Chains A and B, each alone.
Chain A
Amino acid sequence: MSAHTEATTGPMEYRTQEGRMNILGFWIFLGAEIALFATIFATYAVMIGRTADAPPPQELFSLPITLLMTFLLLTSSFTCGIAINEMRRGSKNGLLLWMGMTLVLGLGFLGLEIYEFEHLVHEGASISSAAYWSAFFTLTGTHGLHVTVGLGWGILLLIQLYQRGITPRTASKFFIFGLYWHFLDVVWIFVYTVVYLLGMVG
């Protein structure tokens, strides 16, 4: 809050009291996000098998697409890590490049997810066909919505980086974005195992 709490060494995003508080606040927010996803996962688990007249997931899930989605998102988490590393090195261009790559990979993931949803709806499994499918679309949709928000957010940050360069404020924003992006990756790993892998074996 006041000037004497500012440090001149250490990672840029931790240098001001404000930066440190933002990061802690965001960690706590992620705690709330964990509670949120845990609740949706629990609902999904309860609804497994409740497909009524709609086709069951074993018949519809396709391994290649979801595997590709997983691959894209995991890679984007990796490039996001490199981006933060570039930021720590003080390389604005490195940060721009790797963060841009992260967003492109994220966009690829989102595109495939939309394609996958369309395929499912076409096969007669939509949010309104049965309890199971409602839970499925809620869970994957919530994750996808988070990715979409992340993409918009990332673009805004890139513009700010372009305008201002790496400062304690922008560094703190990028670092927090990184936390968010990795978090979505972790959630996806659960989605992939619990929904798709378990769903395919039926």
Chain B
Amino acid sequence: MEAFLDFFFGEFLVTGQPLIYGAMVSIALGSITVIAVLTYFKAWGWLWREYITSVDHKKIGIMYIIAAIVMFVRGGIDAMMMRIQTSLPGMTFLDSQHYNEIFTTHGTIMIIFMAMPFLIGLMNFAVPLQIGARDVAFPFFNNLSFWSFAFGLALFNISFIIGGSPDAGWTNYAPMAGAELNPGPAINYYLLGLQLSGIGTLGTGINFIVTILKMRAPGITMMRLPIFTWSTLITALIIVFAFPILTVALALMTLDRIFGAKLFTLAGEGMPMMWANLFWLWGHPEVYIVILPAFGIFSEVISTFARKQLFGYKAMVYAMVIIALLSFLVWVHHFFTMGAGGGVNSFFSITTMLIAVPTGVKIFNWLGTMYRGRITFETPMLWALAFIPNFVIGGVTGVMLAMAAADYQYHNTYFLVAHFHYVLIAGTVFGCFSGLIFWYPKMFGHKLNEKLGKIFFWLFMIGFNVCFLPMYFLGFAGMPRRTYTIEPEWMPLSLTATAGAFMMAAGFAVFVYSIYYSFRYAERETQGDSWGVGRTLDWATATPIPFYNFATLPEFDSKDAYVGMKDKGETTYDKSKVEEIHMPSNSGLPFFMMLALFIASFGLVWEWFWMAIPGLIMFFIVMGIRSFDYNEGFHVSTKEIHEIEQAARGEDSK
């Protein structure tokens, strides 16, 4: 018993940190509140039926987005703590170990559990609508993907109260992350959390490729696809070829740490550099996975609010294809200084700079789309407009980093930190905000308040520049990244950066408030084309969107399908053409399948095989049950369709 208590309070729970006690208390209070509210409103059954087991791409998309926003808050709190610690010399807010853990969880969470799921959520919501489909190709697997992501997220996030957070950076380099230098469960959380959520990402990739290739409405040819859908297709292709590399890399390090393999170790002639290579072979394509969909969103938003067809559609598509191919050929630029020869560095230097070319093409296409457009400045458009100059700063400094010889000067400094935040925030995060505000009325039946949205935009956008622009200069001044304490000469700029971070946090708080405010007071949408200028099929549906999306669809003969429909006076409800609709049934199996893998992974994290093996067996049992599940879905009768459509369109049902 005593041994157990020793283990429980000595190793299992993270103790001795006031910040973590605070976190534990707030997590406990938060969970109790959620459970109490759900119980009070008798909402458990509703939650289970309508969301947890849902195969509806719209609901799955919304669940992804909610999880991503929660993770943005978690990652954001990490960021604020780092900025506080590095605002003044001699700060003792965080010690060095705690700082290491926090930049690791911040980076990992922001990329894997915030940026990617946010975009996947928007894809889930919008892509089937844009191509005129009733759901994705594999709705069951879509739910499975979500739960794989959600349980991966849970596994990664519990580390900081149970067992301790990973602390080897989001890049998790060997040998520092190996078992000799880093014993204990922390790094295992990283490995298994990412492994678990990676299954879902791969599933999403496959799902969207098949959906886009096979489920387009008649007349929506490949070269008439909305550009966000194109960007999703290309992203999905990158996922399918890049994620297996991560799967392998994580598995190999798991073998090293838990089963004594010698792949990335110093002993037994292992090769730590192999980890760096594998990680970035996945890692660079990964950054395109989180930027291409954002490009797609900006393209939609810009052409919508400029009221013009996208300029250079074909060039946009080819540019994305080229970016996708090149993204697999640049990985060494992440470690120019780690021992590759001059020839190798030159090669990767050039391929990296080449990527700037298609990216530049896209920038000119956006400018060309706006040229002579009748632009209005709704909040989604503001984010898209802010994206262009800010992203260009990030892109140009990226080309600076691509010059291998010069990189020796500023690699591993705040110059790099500034660069990747300029592309990740001005690109991905602005894109997520833009897309969320853009599609919000279709998701929830009301817009977000525009005035609060503008306050949010200006605070966040200016704060972002105040925070990250000084970091370029801090980098030139020699401030290394991942340093927990600063020299006095860096203080003015570093303090400025912290002030900027607080501005961003304030902006985000306004956003959160605007969700509540708009829920209470915003006007309810009565028609489908929320902004009045929609161009693609997502705006052709009624609001709220019927669960089967489209009752009927006309035959299309041009791009920007909904523009054509509006010209011809067509809708997605042609009374004479309504037929029975076949829809897939919900299923609780994915939840249990992934719960089983969660248990197995948690067991592996602690090297408890008595827990890991039953978890795995449970997983295979649920898989077997699924194999025998011949559920054929259900049919929606024409009568029901007429009722739903007429109610949504405010017509009397006769």
* Interface set of A (CB-CB < 8 Å, partner B): 1-3, 17, 20-22, 24-25, 28-29, 31-33, 35-36, 39-40, 43, 46-47, 50-52, 127-135, 137-138, 152-153, 156-157, 160, 164, 169
Contact = CB atoms under 8 A, between A and B. Distances in A.
Contacts of B209: 25, 28
Given A39-B249, A138-B255, 13 more contacts: A2-B580, A25-B138, A29-B206, A36-B248, A43-B278, A46-B271, A47-B271, A51-B269, A128-B268, A130-B262, A131-B269, A134-B252, A134-B262
Interface string B254-288: 01100111110101111100100010010000000
5 contacts: A1-B215, A28-B205, A28-B240, A36-B247, A39-B248
Contacts of A29: 206
Contacts of B256: 134
B270 A131 contact: yes
Given A32-B202, A36-B244, A25 B263 contact: no
A31 B281 CA distance: 17
Nearest to A40: B248
Highest count of chain B CB atoms <10 Å: which of A1, A17, A20, A46: A1
B273 to A, nearest CB: 9
Contact of A1 (B241, B271, B582): B582
- Of the four ranges (under 10, 10 to 19, 20 to 34, 35 or more), the interface on chain B belongs to 35 or more
Nearest to A25: B210
A11 B582 CA distance: 23
A130 B269 contact: yes
B129 to A, nearest CB: 15
A50 B248 CA distance: 20
Interface in B226-265: 240-245, 247-249, 251-252, 255-256, 259-263, 265
Main secondary structure of the interface of B (DSSP, over half): helix
A130 B259 CA distance: 13
Main secondary structure of the interface of A (DSSP, over half): helix
Contacts of B268: 50, 52, 128-131, 134
Contacts of B628: 156, 160
B172 interface: no
B206 to A, nearest CB: 5
Contacts of A130: 262, 268-269
A183 to B, nearest CB: 14
A2 B206 CA distance: 21
A31 B202 CA distance: 11
A138 B207 contact: no
B244 A35 contact: yes
Nearest first, the 10 A-B pairs at minimum CB distance are: A128-B260, A50-B269, A36-B244, A134-B261, A35-B244, A39-B248, A131-B270, A130-B268, A52-B269, A131-B269
B214 A47 contact: no
Nearest to A2: B582
Contact of B620 (A52, A131, A152): A152
Highest count of chain A CB atoms <10 Å: which of B214, B240, B265, B268: B268
A50 B271 contact: yes
A35 B207 contact: no
Contact of B241 (A21, A31, A137): A31
B269 A132 contact: yes
Highest count of chain B CB atoms <10 Å: which of A22, A39, A127: A39
B213 interface: yes
Contacts of A40: 248
Contacts of A46: 271, 274
Highest count of chain A CB atoms <10 Å: which of B134, B138, B202, B270: B270
